[in-house]
Amino acid sequence: MGLYGSPDVGNLYTEEKIKEEKKRRNIVIGTQTLMLAVLYILMMWVAEDRFEMTVSYVGVFSIVYFVVFFIKMIINLFKKRSVRKEIRKMLICMLLITICLILS
């Protein structure tokens, strides 16, 4: 029975509906991520056979993106929004920076 004795016609409050909503998570590639990948591929193509230049380009772009995502995270914190995506992106940038420091 639904609210006030009326039948639950749409299965709004059953566990099946809740489980069904949790399953529908799709991976969406954002435009920023796509542009970042294109820039990295372009840098590797332009650098020709200079490995150090490619590593330094990737490191510099990762630092720039880290700063951008950090600013977006601060703005979202002030607006009381979720910062989960920005934290993930910042961790990826930190990983790329660490790899570039190790390779250089």
Tokens representing residue 83 in the block: 């910062």
Task: Give me the residue spans of the domains in the chain.
Answer: 27-103
Q: pLDDT digit string (tens) for 56-96?
A: 777 888 888 899 889 999 999 999 888 888 899 899 889 98
pTM of the model: 0.57
Tokens representing residue 22 in the block: 């949790």
